[in-house]
Chains A and B, each alone.
Chain A
Amino acid sequence: MLEINDLSMSYGSGTQAKVIFRNLNCTVERGEIACLVGPSGVGKSTLMRCIAGLSRPVAGTVTLDGAVIDRPHKDIAVVFQDYGRSLMPWLSVLGNVTLPLRHRIADGGRRDSAAEAAIEAVGLKGHERKYPWQLSGGMQQRVAIARAIACEPRLLLMDEPFASVDAQTRAELEDLTLGLRERLGMSVVVVTHDIDESIYLSDRVVVLRGSPAEVVDTLAVPLPTPRDQIATKSEPRFAELRARVLHEIRGERGAAPARLSLVGEEPLQRTSIAGRTA
């Protein structure tokens, strides 16, 4: 279980200090997918860096199953937005995925087969010997995901993981993420600015807003699993949740109910068609 307790972060000091967030609290249960949503610049990525142990908070703690995270942890893997910058262009796909295993699995043969299993899990079997720059953006991000899951992390952090790929690829990668969580049972925290994506992926959506940022809402997403790009997104509850998150991000909580019903009704008919086929 990931626990964020009274976490505060600021840059600079004294009167010049820029407070990013103050006394932030939230929890992500084991095996749960949580999305952090909020307007850009709200501090989602800073929070992500704190959870990853890349930045030290000025106060408060991040704990994973009780252990305080104040530096990168072996059970936390990170997928960055920029696959073009987080993969090593001098290493093949296999070399990239093997890299974090070098100090975990001493035996070279076992290390390679663990990496190959991860590569197969993200659907890149047959591309092991290629280099990242020979692959499309979506495939490169799959390599980054394979590298992350190869370590069998308890917590997978994804920072705007699908922001740089096209819509079709994004949908595929979302489903890949859901499938991997199902198979491997790790907790997943996804930072995204895409509200649809946050609801589609999540068991729980954490909405951040303001400066300094605060958690304005934590919504459970009671949509049925496994999720389906068409059926799930056509559910009236999906539209309700979407409207609620949107209003919260905009800070229009008061205006929410009226528009909520409007948005909520329209997809009803589509649900009855797509919902059964799915």
Chain B
Amino acid sequence: MSALRWRGLALELWLPALLVLLWWLSSRGSTSLYFPPLAQILDRFASDWLFARVGSDLLPSLRNLAAGFAIGAGLGVALGVALGLSPLARLALPLLEVMRAVPVIALIPLVIMLMGTGDGEKMAIIAFGTLWPVVLNTTEGVRTIDPTLRDAAATMGLRKRDTLMRVVLPAASPQTFAGLRLAVSIALVATVGSELFASTRGIGYVILSATQGWDMPQMWAALIMLGIIGYALNGLMSLAERRALGWHHSHAASGFDSSHRRKR
């Protein structure tokens, strides 16, 4: 790792580190039931999440999150491309906006009624939350592909598969990734939310049962775990984006981006 990367890391971490230190100092002698000393929480974190609950609660949560996200993202890209290429896109957009605006948590009771309780139900909820931002952004990305690019693809007589994989999807990918980024945080909310209802395991379940048993250090430890997961997911997204959209950032920096995308 270069000196510059270290510097970047230091810049990113100094504030969280300072806050943790403040938390540690201010909670040192705490006797509050709700805000136990950080030392106690970290003890609990170490025993719960390194590794007693990894197999029983962390992995099931992550697996549901990954599967639900993958299903939602896959369906979202497919549906978004289909809508973006069809003249119906304009008609569908308001409906998509409504679907996206429905808080995914509100659907949990309905999904439980339809699918019962289990991993399938949780994945469905996560997938539903992931789906709409991806559909919306991909549709928009495909719809606004530069007409010159479409003409160029048409005159080359490309097969449908090549047009899709090498022209349409890459051209829409900056928008698709914007949707995926939104979707990641919604998926995490949906994961925890789905575990708060009729569940017997998962991070959300740990939080709920800890609170019900007045085991506040355990609840705080689970919250810290969630924070770490969220941060890691964001990092993974950035990494994927850098790999997939390296061309886009350099292309934009070279000053061609405004001409590349059609103005609406």
Contacts and interface: CB of A to CB of B under 8 A. Distances in A.
Interface stretch (B4-12, B71-79, B89-97, B145-153): B145-153
Contacts of B154: 54, 72
The residue in A82, A84, A103 that gathers the most chain B C-beta atoms within 10 A of its C-beta is A84
Interface string B225-264: 0000000000000000000000110110010100110000
Interface in A50-93: 52-54, 72-74, 76-78, 80, 82, 84-91
A85 B170 CA distance: 14
A89 B248 contact: yes
B158 A131 contact: no
Given A78-B155, A84-B260, A103-B162, A133 B254 contact: yes
A103 B159 contact: yes
Given A91-B166, A133-B254, A85 B149 contact: yes
Given A80-B151, A85-B260, A102 B158 contact: yes
A82 B148 contact: yes
Contacts of B151: 49, 52, 54, 78, 80, 86
Contacts of A87: 152
Nearest to A100: B156
B224 interface: no
A221 interface: no
Given A90-B248, A103-B162, A133-B251, A84 B259 contact: yes
The residue in B148, B162, B259 that gathers the most chain A C-beta atoms within 10 A of its C-beta is B148
B170 A88 contact: yes
A99 interface: yes
**Size category, B interface:** 20 to 34
A85 B148 contact: yes
A240 B39 CA distance: 93
Interface string A156-183: 0000000000000000000000000000
B40 to A, nearest CB: 51
A91 B173 CA distance: 13
B77 to A, nearest CB: 16
Contacts of B256: 84-85, 89, 133
Interface of B: 146, 148-149, 151-152, 154-159, 162, 166-167, 170-171, 173, 247-248, 250-251, 254, 256, 259-260
20 contacts: A54-B154, A72-B154, A74-B157, A80-B148, A82-B148, A85-B256, A85-B259, A87-B152, A88-B149, A89-B247, A89-B248, A89-B256, A90-B248, A91-B166, A99-B166, A100-B156, A100-B157, A103-B159, A103-B162, A131-B251
